């Protein structure tokens, strides 16, 4: 009895303080969002495409989430410890958490997801699992990961969903499992209805483990295929939030001028998107450093940010985002917009212009995600034409773009990549040497860049437990990569989010709108 009293008092005190800060929030209301394109599923265990996580992360949860300053925050794990040598991660799971079908959440679910389900369906999870020597569950609410070697990025892989093991008893073919469409999670919202082509409806989970949360009663994700229609839906009040990509950036500027509309640039601190123009290092003359440098000097990246992306973006000269804790701008090579320098470099490389002023021809594969990327491709064509490089734009759709980039069938390729919170699970894939003709996915080493020293630095830094040593290693790697400019980093992307002023706590963590929305409330 005496052991209970202090913890009882503590929990009362905690809930009282929560309640007092919660008195500002009002419960109730329906939030209207847009999801586009319509996802193939909302089961984030099956895939992690953008639209899927936008919806699915409100139904499913992971052990942790992360704050805007990249610190882990408790979610399904109440607390955790990391051993001094960085080899043992112990997670203490929250108690009294129920799945949406009433079954209790236990360590078994965590192990099932991490060890069996996710690696079967997601490449990234496979790589994560490869770092682990063994997983132990001393009791129903503790999971202990022992790694093969120190891997500090490991703390960042735990926002991946935990799936209910009890729905997959005896199942071996995870990809085609019927349980995949049961959408049972632990999150603040339960799946209610999906009218294909129209909307996805989530309802409040009354048994959610967070006291008093969620505040919202329902969330509707409207499916609207046309960008103009999406803007009109927001204008006419049918929809409360617009994410970047729902409408073009210049429309975001226009809509931000409306009454009671707020604009924020926050919410992407974990994903850290960066815009790329890949240069195929395996094709001549792009294998010549001077040619790549020339291209970097020939493109006015500030113009791209200001004119094409309506000012949403920041300059960058290296592989990491400005939001990364390892970003070291001091060691980066700066590539100012300087066509004269570009011309000089190309002359030096022996690529003299012919009678028409053309030095050589390349193919550019644009990113088929929207008009702004097309404008960037068209601008790039202009900019390079000015220094004697003829650019042919390849018309293609998403599967075609993916295929070309990953099989080195391009010269210049547009892309943007989520470089993510830790380089070991982010950009390392992009700059580590690969053999063969298949880069895997567009987040891989699409450039075909190969530098043994960089390989060594990245591999070592990935498994270096000492924070300072890690920083030094990554700085060295950034210095080399920036100097060798295997690709152009066009800009550090800013994805603005527009929302009605009545929507509160929309973005409260580094995951932004990909959060579970347990804290979101609507002011009257």
Q: Which of residues 16-35 bind other proteins (CB under 8 A)?
A: 30, 32
| Binding to other proteins in span 63-92, by CB under 8 A | none
User: What SS3 class is residue 297?
Assistant: helix
> Are 470 and 424 a contacting pair, CB within 8 Å?
no
- In the numeric block, which tokens belong to residue 11? 């929990």
Residue 334 Cβ, how far from other proteins at the closest point, in Å? 25
Q: According to the binding rule CB under 8 A, does residue 166 interact with other proteins?
A: no
Q: According to the binding rule CB under 8 A, does residue 58 interact with other proteins?
A: no
DSSP string, 117-162: IHHHH-HHHHHHHHTEEEEEEEETTEEEEEESS--GGGGGGTTSPP
How far is C-alpha 216 from the geometric centre of its chain's CA atoms?
A: 25
Residue 406 Cβ, how far from other proteins at the closest point, in Å? 8
**C-beta atoms surrounding 72 within 10 Å:** 19
| Binding to other proteins in span 95-124, by CB under 8 A | 122-124
Residue 110 Cβ, how far from other proteins at the closest point, in Å? 21
Residue 137 Cβ, how far from other proteins at the closest point, in Å? 27
How far is C-alpha 450 from the geometric centre of its chain's CA atoms?
A: 25
Q: Judged by CB under 8 A, which of 107, 231, 323, 485 binds other proteins?
A: 231
Q: Judged by CB under 8 A, which of 110, 296, 439, 503 binds other proteins?
A: 439
Q: Judged by CB under 8 A, which of 69, 436, 468, 524 binds other proteins?
A: 436
Q: Judged by CB under 8 A, which of 153, 162, 351, 430 binds other proteins?
A: 430
DSSP string, 220-284: EEE----HHHHHHHHHTTS-SEEEBTTB-HHHHHHHHTSTTEEEE--S-TTT-EEEEEEE-TTST
Residue 39 Cβ, how far from other proteins at the closest point, in Å? 9
Q: How many residues bind other proteins (CB under 8 A)?
A: 89
- In the numeric block, which tokens belong to residue 294? 């020339």
What is the rounded CA–CA span in Å between residue 294 and residue 286? 10
User: What SS3 class is residue 320?
Assistant: coil
What is the rounded CA–CA span in Å between residue 375 and residue 37? 21
What is the rounded CA–CA span in Å between residue 399 and residue 367? 11
Nearer to other proteins by C-beta: 107 or 417? 417
Nearer to other proteins by C-beta: 267 or 273? 273
Q: According to the binding rule CB under 8 A, does residue 357 interact with other proteins?
A: no
Which listed range, 109-117, 215-223, 277-285, 353-361, lies at the site for other proteins (CB under 8 A)? 215-223
Q: According to the binding rule CB under 8 A, does residue 377 interact with other proteins?
A: yes
Site string for other proteins, 287-316 (x = CB under 8 A): --------------------xx--------
Which listed range, 133-141, 279-287, 376-384, 452-460, lies at the site for other proteins (CB under 8 A)? 376-384
Rg of the chain on CA atoms, in Å: 24
Q: Judged by CB under 8 A, which of 286, 294, 362, 394 binds other proteins?
A: 394
Residue 200 Cβ, how far from other proteins at the closest point, in Å? 10
Nearer to other proteins by C-beta: 253 or 471? 253
Which listed range, 100-108, 109-117, 133-141, 394-402, lies at the site for other proteins (CB under 8 A)? 394-402
The closest alpha carbon to 158, from 122, 117, 191, 113, belongs to: 113
Which listed range, 56-64, 65-73, 362-370, 469-477, lies at the site for other proteins (CB under 8 A)? 362-370
What is the rounded CA–CA span in Å between residue 255 and residue 498? 8
Nearer to other proteins by C-beta: 105 or 234? 234
Give, in order, the Cα–Cα distances in Å from 507 to each of 186, 263, 269, 400, 519.
Answer: 20, 11, 11, 34, 9
Q: Judged by CB under 8 A, which of 48, 243, 292, 491 binds other proteins?
A: 48
HEC sequence for 349-401 = CCCCCCCCCCCEEEEEECCCCCHHHHHHHHHHHHHHHCCCEEEEECCCCHHHH
Q: According to the binding rule CB under 8 A, does residue 206 interact with other proteins?
A: no
């Amino acid at each position: 009895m005496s052991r209970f009293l202090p913890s009882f008092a503590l929990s009362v005190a905690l809930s009282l303080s929560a309640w007092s800060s919660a008195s500002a929030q009002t419960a109730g209301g329906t939030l209207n969002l847009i999801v586009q394109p319509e996802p193939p599923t909302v089961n984030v265990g099956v895939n992690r495409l953008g639209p899927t996580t936008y919806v699915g992360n409100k139904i499913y949860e992971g052990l942790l989430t992360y704050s805007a300053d990249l610190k882990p925050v408790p979610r399904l794990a109440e607390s955790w410890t990391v051993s001094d040598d960085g080899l043992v991660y112990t997670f203490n799971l929250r108690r009294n958490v129920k799945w949406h079908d009433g079954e209790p959440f236990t360590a078994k679910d965590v192990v099932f997801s991490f060890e069996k389900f996710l690696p079967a369906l997601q490449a990234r999870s496979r790589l994560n699992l490869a770092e682990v020597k063994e997983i132990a569950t001393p009791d129903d609410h503790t999971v202990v990961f022992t790694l093969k070697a120190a891997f500090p990025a490991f703390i960042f892989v735990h926002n991946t969903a935990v799936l209910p093991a009890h729905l997959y008893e005896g199942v071996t073919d995870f990809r085609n499992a019927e349980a995949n469409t049961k959408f049972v999670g632990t999150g603040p919202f339960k799946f209610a209805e999906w009218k294909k082509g129209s909307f996805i409806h989530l309802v409040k989970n009354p048994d959610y483990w967070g006291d008093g949360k969620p505040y919202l009663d329902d969330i509707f994700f409207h499916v609207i295929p046309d960008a103009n229609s999406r803007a009109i839906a927001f204008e006419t009040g049918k929809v409360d939030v617009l994410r970047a990509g729902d409408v073009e950036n210049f429309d975001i500027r226009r809509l931000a001028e409306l009454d009671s509309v707020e604009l924020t640039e926050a919410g992407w601190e974990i994903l850290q998107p960066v815009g790329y123009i890949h240069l195929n290092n395996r094709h001549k003359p792009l294998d010549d450093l001077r040619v790549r440098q020339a291209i970097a000097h020939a493109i006015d990246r500030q113009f791209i940010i200001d004119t094409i992306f309506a000012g949403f973006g920041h300059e960058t000269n290296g592989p990491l985002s400005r939001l990364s804790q390892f970003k070291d701008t001091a060691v980066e090579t700066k590539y100012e917009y300087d066509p004269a320098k570009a011309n000089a470099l190309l002359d030096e490389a022996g690529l003299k212009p012919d009678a028409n002023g053309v030095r050589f021809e390349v193919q550019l594969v644009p990113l088929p995600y929207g008009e702004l990327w097309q404008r960037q491709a068209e601008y790039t064509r202009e900019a390079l034409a000015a220094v004697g490089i003829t650019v042919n734009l390849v018309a293609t759709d998403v599967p075609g773009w993916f295929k070309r980039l990953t099989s080195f069938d391009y010269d210049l390729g547009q892309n943007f990549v989520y470089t993510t919170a830790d380089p070991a699970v982010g950009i390392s894939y992009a700059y580590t040497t690969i053999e063969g003709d298949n880069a895997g996915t567009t987040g891989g080493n699409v450039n075909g860049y190969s530098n043994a020293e960089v390989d060594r630095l990245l591999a070592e830094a990935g498994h270096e437990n000492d924070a300072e040593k890690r920083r030094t290693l990554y700085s060295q790697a950034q210095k080399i990569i920036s100097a060798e400019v295997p690709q152009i980093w066009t800009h550090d992307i800013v994805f603005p989010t527009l929302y009605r002023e009545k929507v509160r706590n929309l973005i409260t963590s580094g995951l932004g709108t990909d959060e579970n929305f347990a804290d979101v409330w609507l002011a009257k």
